[in-house]
Structure 1
Amino acid sequence: MKSAARTPVLVGIGVAHQREDDWRLALEPLDLMLHAVRAAGGDAGGAAALAGAQWIAVPRGRWKYTDPAGAIARAVGAGGATSVLASVGVSQQTLLAEACGRIARGEAHTTLVAGSDAGYRILRAQIAGERATERAEPGAPDEYWEPEEDLRHPVEKRAGLAMPVGLYAILESAFRHAHGWSVEEHRDRLANLYAGFARVAAANPDAWSRRALTPADIREAGPRNPMQAFPYTRLHCSTWNVDQAAALLFCSAERAEALGIPRAKWIYPVASTESNHMAAVSTRACLHECVGAAVAGRAALDAAGLRPEDLDVVDLYSCFPIAVESYAQALGLPLDRELTITGGMAFAGGPFNNYQFQSTARAARLLREGRGPHALVSCVSGILTKQGFGIWSREAPAAGFVQLDLSDEVARRSTVLDVRDAYTGPATVAGFTVVHGRGVAPRGVVLVDTPQGERALATTEDPAWVERLQQEEWVGRGVDVEGVGLRP
């Protein structure tokens, strides 16, 4: 058993947001992050807790600061802290796990993670015909973390799948087919699921949008809710044009006691489980299941000694509906239970590379308020590429904090296929979508299985094909491919 004195506890929670239409008057993302950091310090009882931080980590946002963690350390008087900057593609759960793990291993008594993005500020500058600028911050981080591999396959990029939504929609089509739902029934299910998320957001004081929506508002495409990648409209997708920040301050139990932080504020990290095994979407033999979520999610529950029904507070990462559906399936959670505490990334806000800090902050607050003793918060990195789960509790874990990287096990359980640059001949559809964009023709994108056991991607802008791909189920059906296109 880990020393009780080294038990990590979450003692400070801080969130910040702004909605300033004049980008010049809006806080820069670093300043917004500092507001959240100081709020976390205040939540923990004052500046002394922050000044003792020995390790500070920040995931990269859409900003150019070279060492934001170092800037935070200087601002709060934690000059000796190790600063970490994590590139996009490093799971947010990895940062949370390391913040807690360093305390449990006796490598630090106080750690801090913080993140922010100012997408609304960027948008308002673009509307004004300008570019949002940031001040230069000196220095480089003590540590820079980045993923080992690219998150997308070159063939996916050449097929025009530059944005994640198209690849997520392909996974969604495979999930629909595996469950035997018709195209229209499936669209109804997605709309009902996200209307429920909108209701949760309406009750969340930190949500970016608190507007109640009907299933029809979400399901049907229109000028204010355009189709993005069938069946996803804009209201199915993460809203990243938001100015939001969050910070989480951790101490050892011994340090928290020395600082006089009331135990009523302590939230215990019980388990952190991750898979960092990387396989591009087009290579995954099974598109309708997320192996990493099944392995890492169940391992988190087992480490905490919990069953799915024991979870009082749940927030499943919600960049797109398939992330929610596949995680719920992997964990054994029914889709008709509450699966978000924020309202999800479509409504509460999906600040670039920072949402899990927001959802963890919300979970901790609800636990403090008595919603229940146990919470599960999850994250996704890439295109359902990496999976992470954190279990939090008002009760100290008997076995201490458990930190597991299950990448090797997930790799053993996963089957990947070769993807051809081009293919001509008969094939079977594995997944598909129609990608929409402003001012361009809709493009059908079809991922196929060849008779040789390989994969290929084919595209079409033929209006007849586009219409059929948005009305009929094509997964499991045969098509003819010529090069990189679908034959009429």
Structure 2
Amino acid sequence: MTTPVLVGVGSASQRCDDPREAAEPLELMQRALDAAAGEVPGFRDHLDRIAVPHGRWSYGDPGRLLAPRATSVLAEVGVLQHTLIADAAELIARGEIGAAAVVGGEAGHRLARAARAGIEVADTPHDGKPDVHLAAADELIHPVEKRAGLNRAANAYAVLESAFAHRHGLTPAQTRDRIAALYARFSEVAAANPDAWRPKPVDAASIREPSEKNPMLAFPYTRAHVSSWSVDQAGALLLCSTEVADELGVPPGQRVYPVVDAESNAMVAVSARDELGDSPGARAVSRAVLEHAGIGPVDLDLVDLYSCFPVAVEMFAEALGLRDDRDLTVTGGMNRGGGPFNNYVLQATVTLARQLRARGGFGLVSGVSGLMTKQAATIWSSAEPARPYSRRDVSPDLVAREVVDDHTGPATVVGHTVLHIPKRPIRAVAVLDLPDGRRTVARNESPEITAGMAAEDWCGRRVEVSRGEFRPSG
């Protein structure tokens, strides 16, 4: 066994209003890779493997374009971004390779500007096939969820938020206050991050309250709560063995060590989860990384919790046992720092590594795939760990409820949200427990119900269901 170490990090971004002049994702990835390689002269001569998480682009094998002589890996959406980092570290630790790069990038701003202008922008044609192709095995969304309207991430995460709030005895108003304050603090962190997409503080009231520029999407989430993926950002990580680092003359202060990575790859659709307001996977991951590192939550000097939606932050913070008064991001989060599609973990790790170099200590980056479906975390250290690097799959044996779409009769609400279009709510959606232990998802479009769900916690309420619609019992 040898010790893997992160020796180079790089980031790239652009904000070009003319999409015809904007760099495509491949060029942004190349810039990030060049920046990382610039920290470690000679690294490319040792590069054995390059891994890229798939974005909203059409390159068949981007790794080959970035590093022609290295083994190329492409991971589809649904594969944890941590998996690519952990694969590299594990192969290095086993002595199977000497050096690896993990690179990702997106040009969502370029795509959005092109759509607004009614023009098309093309990526470099490439229909090659990677040496290694990783893909998720199962579907993320149950057909019943799609029919009820939970086919968008914001809608499904809002249901989880309601169940989390119910577990903690929070009213909808208290939840709105809590997550607005959380993201207001995130915006302050973004203001100090030179790579942030929106480096400007925002007050909690502006996040909490819907407006023309900040519409309600799925109660209690406004646009200011959700990931901003219309960004042009890329990140690159360079890992190698300590022997290669020594040969390349990488100074001690530039080295950041992966201590442990843990992943939960168990996949259960939202409506089939036994407990919507908790994450057994996040708890298993948190327990595993802290135990291996031999530290407690107070020993984590830096933390970046995956922030596609507030409940992802809340569930992981609870699982890790983090205090409410500490910072939970180093970038400013995926709304303010920027959430490039299927690449944010790399951006967060770049920022975390730079800060660990400057201040020392331990840092943790969490990750989520799908609808809080898979969970992962890596602990990093500025000092070489006493124990060998460990990569663990801690996927728990999850209880999956049977979900049906033909129920008629009584049910109990276990999670809910109100879906919105600009300026008004259109549909209440509820995940429901049935008397026989099965589940269903139903909707109601009456103004009285949509208003009621925004004012009160409906979890635990009895309802009647017929033809996919629910109504209050009695």
Q: Which residue number corresponds to residue 60 of structure 1?
A: 54
Q: In structure 2, how many angstroms separate the alpha carbons of the residues matched to 1:163 and 1:115? A: 24
The structural deviation recorded for 1:108 is: 0.4
**Corresponding residue for 2:356?**
367
Deviation string 1:3-59 (CA, Å, 9 cap, x unpaired) is xxx211100100000000000100000000000000000022x2x202321011000
Q: Which residue identity does 2:17 align to in structure 1? A: D
Quick check: 1:165 aligned with 2:149?
no
- Structure 1 partner of 2:471: 487
- Tell me the secondary structure at the aligned position of residue 247 of structure 1: strand
The one-letter amino acid of 1:487's match is R
Aligned to 1:460: 444
Q: Which amino acid aligns with 1:24?
A: R
CA distance in 1, matches of 2:128, 2:6: 29
The 3 A distance-change label for structure 1 pair 181 and 439 is closer
- Equivalence for 1:135: 124
Q: Does 1:418 align with 2:402?
A: yes
Using the TM superposition, give the Cα deviation of residue 132 of structure 1 relative to its aligned residue in structure 2, in angstroms.
2.5
Q: Take 1:52 and 1:360, find their aligned partners in 2: how far apart are those partners?
A: 22
Return 126-135 or 345-354, whichever deviates more.
126-135
Question: Which residue, out of 407, 421, 440, partners 1:437?
Answer: 421
Which stretches in structure 2 are left out of the alignment for 5+ residues?
none
CA contact (8 A) 1:86 1:144 kept: yes
Structure-to-structure mapping, 1:105-184, within 5 angstroms: 105-184=94-173
Cα deviation, residue 396, structure 1: 0.9
Whether 2:371 is the aligned partner of 1:380: answer no
Matched AA of 2:464? D
**Equivalent residue for 1:406?**
394
How far apart in 1 are the matches of 2:111 and 2:48? 32
State the AA in 1 paired with 2:103: A
Separation in structure 2 between the aligned mates of residue 24 and residue 51 of structure 1, nearest angstrom? 34
The equivalent residue for 1:29 is: 25
How far does residue 468 in structure 1 lie from its aligned partner after superposition?
1.1
| Residues 422 and 457, structure 1, Cα contact 8 Å, conserved in 2 | no
Larger mean Cα displacement after TM superposition, 86-95 or 255-264: 255-264
CA distance in 2 between partners of 1:200 and 1:289 (Å): 27
Could you tell me which residue of structure 1 aligns to residue 378 of structure 2? 390
- C-alpha offsets along residues 261-302 of structure 1, whole Å, 9 cap, x if unaligned? 112101010000001010111000111110000011110010
For the residue of structure 2 that corresponds to 1:306, the secondary structure is coil
Aligned equivalent of 1:266: 255
Pick from 462, 472, 488 the counterpart of residue 456 of structure 2.
Answer: 472
User: Contact (CA 8 Å) 1:325, 1:335: kept in 2 or not?
Assistant: no
After TM superposition, the structure 1 = structure 2 runs for residues 175-194 of structure 1, keeping only pairs within 5 Å, are 175-194=164-183
User: Are residues 1:72 and 2:79 paired?
Assistant: no
C-alpha distance in 1 between matches for 2:276 and 2:150: 17
Question: Aligned pair 1:252/2:248, yes or no?
Answer: no
**Aligned counterparts of 1:11 and 1:138: Cα–Cα separation in 2:** 31
Cα-to-partner distance string for 1:75-114 (whole Å, 9 max, x where unaligned): xxxx1x1101000000001101001111001110000000
Q: Within 1, Cα distance between the matches of 2:342 and 2:451?
A: 35
1:20 maps onto 2:30 in alignment = no
Q: Which amino acid aligns with 2:312?
A: A
State the superposition RMSD in angstroms. Answer: 1.2
Residue 420 of structure 2 aligns with an amino acid whose one-letter code is: H
What amino acid maps onto 2:380 in structure 1?
W
Question: Does the 8 Å contact 1:243/1:351 carry over to 2?
Answer: yes
Cα shift at 1:441? 5.8
Moved more, 179-188 or 353-362: 179-188
SS across alignment from 1:83: strand
- Aligned letter for 1:60? H
Taking the TM superposition and a 5 Å limit, the aligned residue runs for 1:302-313 are 302-313=291-302
Distance 1:138 1:484, change over 3 A: closer
- 8 Å CA contact 1:191–1:216 kept in 2: the answer is yes
Partner of 2:411: 427
1:440/1:66 CA distance change after superposition, 3 Å: farther
- Give how far 1:200 is off: 0.5
1:435, 1:337 → 2: CA distance? 32
Question: CA 1:416 to 1:14, structure 2 compared with 1: closer, same or farther past 3 Å?
Answer: same
Contact between 2:416 and 2:429, CA under 8 Å: does it hold in 1?
Answer: yes
Instruction: Give deviations 1:92-148, integer Å, cap 9, x for gaps.
Output: 011010011110011100000000011000000001012322120242101110011
> Aligned residue pairs: how many?
472
- How far apart are the structure 1 equivalents of 2:406 and 2:180? 36
Structure 2 CA distance for aligned equivalents of residues 264 and 334 of structure 1: 29
Cα distance in 2 between the residues matched to 1:358 and 1:215:
25
User: What is the alpha-carbon distance in structure 1 between the residues aligned to residue 113 and residue 319 of structure 2?
Assistant: 39
Letter of the 1:69 partner, please give it: G
User: Matches of residues 309-320 of structure 1 in structure 2 within 5 Å?
Assistant: 309-320=298-309
Gaps of 5+ in 1: none
Q: Higher mean Cα deviation, 153-162 or 62-71?
A: 153-162
Query: Aligned partners of 1:415, 1:365: CA distance in 2, in Å?
Result: 40
The 2-side partners of 1:272 and 1:424 are apart by 45
Aligned to 1:198: 187
Secondary structure of the 1:426 match is strand
Moved more, 9-18 or 138-147: 138-147
Q: CA offset at residue 440 of structure 1?
A: 8.4
DSSP 3-state at the match of 2:126:
coil
Runs of 4 or more, structure 1, over 2 Å off, are 437-441
* 1:421 match: secondary structure: coil
Counterparts of 1:41-60 in structure 2 under 5 Å? 41-44=37-40, 46=41, 48-60=42-54
TM-score if structure 2 supplies the norm length? 0.98
How does the TM-score come out when normalised to structure 1?
A: 0.95
- Among 240, 262, 280, the alignment partner of 2:229 is 240
Alpha-carbon contact 2:53-2:81 (below 8 Å) kept: yes
CA contact (8 A) 1:114 1:245 kept: yes
Question: Hey, what's the Cα distance between the residues in 2 that align with 1:40 and 1:283?
Answer: 42
Amino acid at match of 1:478: R
Judge conservation of contact 2:407–2:466 (CA < 8 Å) in 1: yes
Quote the Cα distance in structure 2 between the aligned partners of 1:420 and 1:325. Answer: 29
CA contact (8 A) 1:197 1:343 kept: yes
1:341 counterpart SS class = coil
Q: How far apart are the structure 2 equivalents of 1:422 and 1:250?
A: 52
Please give the secondary structure, in 2, of the residue aligned with 1:364.
Answer: helix
* Partners of 2:427 and 2:244 in 1: CA distance: 57
- How far did 1:201 drift? 0.5
